[in-house]
Amino acid sequence: MLDFGMTIGGRQVAGQDRFAVLNPASGEVVGNVTNATIDDLDQAVSAAKDAYPAWSALPDAERQKAIGALAATLEARAGELAELLTRENGKPLGGIGSHFELGGAVAWTGYTAGLEMPVKVLQDNDEGRVELHRKSLGVVGSILPWNWPVIIAIWHIMPALRAGNTVVVKPSPFTPLSTMLAVQIMNEILPAGVLNIITSDDQGPSIGAAMAQHPDIRKIVFTGSTATGEKVMQGAATTMKRLTLELGGNDAGIILPDVDPKAIAEGLFWGAFINTGQTCAAMKRMYVHEDIHDAVVEEFVNFSKNMKTGNGMDEGVMMGPLTTPFQHEKVAGLVEAAAKDGTVRLGGKSLGGQFHETTIVTDLADDHPLVTEEQFGPTIPILRFHDVEDALERANASDSGLGGSIWTNDMDKAKSLALRMECGSVWINKHGALQPNAPFGGVKKSGIGVEHGDEGLMEMTDIQVILQ
């Protein structure tokens, strides 16, 4: 059993109280970690604030080199990190699981190291010269979710460091261990105080809320539910913090009648059920043209039923448990209600503990909770449509707007429909495939701001204009 302390100012800090982190597949204790106090948070912020002047003053090329070194050291320890991630999160070690997540974390780190922040000349003529400069903010606070705890930490941390900021990270109490180990590894390279991590079970004084209100944190990056994002935004208002909020999604996929149902079955499966469906940008609603509805359902079921559910450490497992007890309870409740009102084509039952069968349901009304709520688990409703305009209207009838997809062989039609979807990202003949050079963020209640690429890097900066 592991016993991790927080990393503050380059040192391991044990704290006074501890809480246990459980394996969602077995219920066994994976490790114990520090339960931070508000004083611990203040120390972490002070360490980051003290480290900021030197880190931000480094020549740009030196920061790039340091972040490149972080990619190399994370890659060298990826196997160790992946195994710890599976034990605390439940996702499979192989397949599109923990090794996949660590590979993405390394790739994103390396890509971010190479990003540039050039001075932009807005005017240079007889009337004068105007330059736009990007300047670091100071201390950035990162609040992480439990579904992709390592790669999302990288999404938060690396652009902040690249821009010259220092960072305080708070992981989810359900999955802190892999992030804590990653921070320890990175502190072998980074100067003391540049990257700090605090942990809390969220049962006592809210460390997340205190971060949102902390006067010495200049920006909060938060990934999680819309309801919690609203609270972060409210807390940040008193200090006018910068915010990047990547919040919940209820992504729709629209399948047009010209596709081959068998050819798209695998793409539909991973678009909906990657990480056992516990992904913000996973497909949560599937609208299928009536001419191919039955064939798509049949092929989707045939592919899905062969994907093994079990302990992520076991060979051949592709679907793990739900990571948290409350998420299992939510999914089980939504599926139970859907079984009464629709037709269960696959699955439909809890498997005990925090495991749930992969479940596909048809014949539900558009106002059914399985359609209107973000289920965040291994279940999806499939809905018929006759007219593509109707499908588009129904897909857009949501307060969420994170991602969406169009499935067709007609690329011109796909792009035309994509531009009319009310969401931040639209994929064609795939779903949820993020990449480091493509900005990612939501519209409506799915968030504010973007991550990744040049645009994500710039969100970690303030603009200063020099006019001469």
d(CA 21, CA 28): 8
- Are 225 and 251 in contact, with CB atoms under 8 Å apart? no
- Which residues make Cβ contacts (< 8 Å) with residue 62, sequence separation at least 6? none
Question: How far does Cα 54 stand from its chain's mean position?
Answer: 30
Instruction: Tell me whether residue 246 is one of the annotated catalytic residues.
Output: yes
- Name the E strands within 25-111: 29-34
d(CA 465, CA 163): 17
Q: Which of 101, 280, 357, 451 is catalytic?
A: 280
- Are 51 and 216 in contact, with CB atoms under 8 Å apart? no
Paired tokens of 82? 């992946």
d(CA 63, CA 212): 27
Counting DSSP H helices and E strands in the chain, the numbers are: 15, 25
Residue 207, SS3 per DSSP: helix
- DSSP letter for 420, please: T
d(CA 111, CA 116): 11
Instruction: Tell me whether residue 423 is one of the annotated catalytic residues.
Output: no
Q: Which of 246, 299, 357, 374 is catalytic?
A: 246
Q: Which of 419, 456, 465, 459 is nearest to 108 (CA)?
A: 456
Match 């114990």 to its residue by tokens.
32
Look at strands 219-223 and 242-246 and give their pairing: parallel
Length of the chain counted residue by residue: 468
d(CA 166, CA 169): 10
Look at strands 18-22 and 29-34 and give their pairing: antiparallel
- Are 149 and 175 in contact, with CB atoms under 8 Å apart? yes
Look at strands 195-197 and 359-362 and give their pairing: unpaired
Which residues are known to be catalytic? 246, 280
